[in-house]
Structure 1
Amino acid sequence: MSSAPKDGSRILVTVRPSEQGPAEVDVAYWSRADQFGIEGWRAGDSHPGQIVAYADPELKCWMPLPTANVEGDAGLPAPWAGEDAEELFGSGI
């Protein structure tokens, strides 16, 4: 995390597993101290009054958010064209 940008840009982070749940990926950004909290990593969906902050040891690694290339061939994968299972992880609704 020491190489992660601390300019307020959003990045993807891996949050380590803890007693509160398994490891997960979240969008986060570095925030300077303000009236809502101290300087540090915040979840991308934080807002005044509901700040989700991460301590450095909670975050394992980071990567930049992927960008969409809308000019020319975006190189995006094609939608799934294979056969689907009748039901996958739920009621099939």
Structure 2
Amino acid sequence: MTASDGEATLVCSEAGGKTMDEPDSWRHMASAPKDGSRILVTIRASEQGPAEVDLAYWSHGDQFGGEGWRASDSSPGHIIEYAEPELKCWMPMPSANRTSMPSPWEGDDAQQLDGSGI
């Protein structure tokens, strides 16, 4: 933790020393917005492939599928749903002037997210 003007700021070492209130920092899935807004998520590595980043949103359910995380490129009749354990962490959408997608978070499970491993 660092202190400035009497306030403590958590710094996540896995995020290159960035503070957690910066928009391009990975965060725990438990804090992800479930209001339908699009966010970036790290999908855990599995037997189907390495970890990757996808654009997803929380769906409250409809005639095409139940409540849960969906890939943003889902469409009626072709819903791509993610189970909670598949998703490692999230971050808000980066600014429009960013030139590339961020790399998947590759730190140890949740211990260092949001500075909790410090």
**How does the TM-score come out when normalised to structure 1?**
0.72
Question: Which ranges of structure 1 fall in alignment gaps of 5 or more residues?
Answer: 69-73, 78-93
Alignment RMSD, CA only?
1.5
The structure with the largest helix share of the pair is 2
- 1:25 aligned residue: 53
- 1:7 alignment partner, one of 14, 24, 35: 35
- The residue type equivalent to 2:41 in the other structure is V
| Deviation of 1:67 (Å) | 2.5
Q: Considering only CA atoms, is the larger Rg found in Structure 1 or Structure 2?
A: 1
- 1:50 aligned residue: 78
Q: Which runs of 4+ in 1 moved over 3 A?
A: none
- Measured in 1, the distance between the counterparts of 2:95 and 2:36 equals 17
Aligned residues: 71
Q: Once the two structures are superposed, what CA deviation does each residue of 1:13-48 show, in whole Å capped at 9, x if it has no partner?
A: 000011111110000000011100010000010010
| Deviation of 1:66 (Å) | 1.2
Of structures 1 and 2, the one scoring higher in RCO (CA 8 A, sep 6+) is 2
- 1:41 alignment partner, one of 29, 45, 69: 69
